């Protein structure tokens, strides 16, 4: 419950603008409990990043509707982007990257070596992240005023 509320707040405001007290208040618990069980804000950011990765894997492994999975993806990207913009080293804080590893595994079938598969995965993620975060700006700036993906 605490991690869900922290993820929502981080997606809305970013970690820098969210205090442990904000998370505690939204969760209905004492901030000291969060500090005792999780640690400082950096530890909370790390726990949220791992929680979101696991949550997405779980959602994708069920018969969840596509819009539920998309909501998980959207929240994860927002938290990652806001944490990065707030100066958190997301790559070091997050301990598990199950969705990325699934993508790398799929890319290995199309590439000759591991490095090429990982680079192709990074490129694809960067493109998706860019469109998810900057889509409204990119659509307005380029005159793409409909919701079709670029290239269609």
19 and 54 part of one domain: yes
Cα–Cα distance measured from residue 84 to residue 121, given in angstroms and rounded to the nearest whole number? 19
Q: Both ends of the chain: CA-CA distance in Å?
A: 40
51 and 11 part of one domain: yes
Cα–Cα distance measured from residue 112 to residue 140, given in angstroms and rounded to the nearest whole number? 38
Instruction: Tell me which residue range forms the domain holding 41.
Output: 1-94
pLDDT for res 133:
83
Last residue of a domain, one of 44, 74, 94: 94
User: What tokens were used for 88?
Assistant: 């958190």
Please give the DSSP secondary-structure letter assigned to residue 15.
G
* Contacts of 47 by beta carbon, 8 Å cutoff, 6+ apart: 3, 6, 38
Across 26-61, b (16+ Cβ under 10 Å) vs e yields: bbeeeeeebeeebeebeebbbbbbbbbbebbeebee
Last residue of a domain, one of 94, 114, 139: 94
81 and 36 part of one domain: yes
13 and 47 part of one domain: yes
pTM > 0.85: no
25 and 38 part of one domain: yes
139 and 74 part of one domain: no
150 and 87 part of one domain: no
28 and 89 part of one domain: yes
86 and 152 part of one domain: no
pLDDT for res 150:
62
pLDDT tens column, 83-92: 999 999 999 9
132 and 82 part of one domain: no
55 and 79 part of one domain: yes
75 and 134 part of one domain: no
Q: Are 94 and 101 in contact (CB under 8 A)?
A: no
pLDDT tens column, 28-83: 999 999 999 999 999 999 999 999 999 999 988 888 899 999 899 889 989 999 99
Q: Are 31 and 20 in contact (CB under 8 A)?
A: yes
Return the CATH number at 82: 1.10.357.10
Number of domains in the chain: 2
């Amino acid at each position: 419950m605490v991690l869900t509320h922290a993820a929502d707040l981080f997606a809305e405001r970013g970690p820098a603008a969210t205090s442990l007290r904000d998370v505690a208040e939204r969760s209905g618990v004492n901030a000291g409990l969060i500090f005792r069980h999780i640690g400082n804000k950096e530890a909370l950011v790390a726990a949220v990043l791992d929680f979101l990765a696991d949550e997405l894997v779980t959602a994708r492994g069920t018969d969840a509707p596509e819009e539920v999975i998309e909501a998980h993806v959207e929240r994860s990207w927002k938290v990652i982007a806001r944490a990065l913009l707030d100066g958190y080293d997301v790559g070091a804080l997050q301990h598990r990257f199950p969705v990325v590893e699934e993508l790398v595994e799929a890319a290995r079938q199309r590439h000759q070596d591991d490095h090429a598969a990982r680079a192709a995965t990074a490129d694809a993620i960067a493109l998706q992240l860019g469109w998810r975060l900057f889509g409204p700006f990119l659509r307005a700036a380029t005159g793409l005023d409909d919701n079709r993906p670029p290239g269609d």
